[in-house]
Amino acid sequence: ALLEPLRRRLADIGLRNFAEISASMSKITGVPVTNANVVTTYNTVKQQLPSSVSVETFVSAQQMGVAQLAIEYCSALVDDTALRGAFFPGFTNFNTAVAPAFDTTLEQDQIINPLFDKVAGGIGSQPGDAEMKAELADLIDLLRGRHASGTATDTQKIVKATCAAALGSAAVLVQ
């Protein structure tokens, strides 16, 4: 009983390890873990990904590995017309220049809402709808502003970047 105050309390939350992160990203996006580009990236960043579930062991290099893996999963998702159509069913502007592709809130929501629903929606300890959706909308606005005269390729890059921001977030990393 005397030692009780000295014992370190364990965290209520933990991290997914590298295999769990990849499996979660695969399940969310529908991109198989066996996708050649995903496998290459996974093998490259595997050493950077968390091997322990302890939050106290997390370092910035691990976040970089998570980000690189998220980018690869999102690139594979957006590059596959069937997968992206199923993931973002309302967004039909993948082959449209940037300015008209994102010129309404509805079009942005057609990207943001499926990401939120599949990445963080319904989990009590995750960020709230308003906060996460606002951050993703701000990212789209920033990228849209920088690529206002951009082509359909730039539109797809904006969707990939927005997807990677959500997929590489604590909503997927923390369990």
Tokens standing for 109? 């929501």
Q: How many CA atoms lie within 13 A of 121 on its CB side?
A: 9
Rounded to an integer, the average pLDDT of 81-102 is 96
User: Worst-scoring range by mean pLDDT, 14-23, 117-126, 136-145, 147-156?
Assistant: 117-126
pLDDT at 147: 94
**Do 13 and 56 contact (CB within 8 A), yes or no?**
no
**d(Cα 105, Cα 143) in Å, to the nearest integer?**
15
**Do 105 and 158 contact (CB within 8 A), yes or no?**
no
Tokens standing for 147? 């690529």
Residue environment code for 21-37, b if the CB has 16+ CB neighbours within 10 A, otherwise e? bbebbbebbbbeeebee
**What is the DSSP code (8-state) at residue 11?**
P
* Confidence check: pLDDT of 107 > 60: yes
**d(Cα 153, Cα 141) in Å, to the nearest integer?**
17
Question: pTM of this prediction?
Answer: 0.85
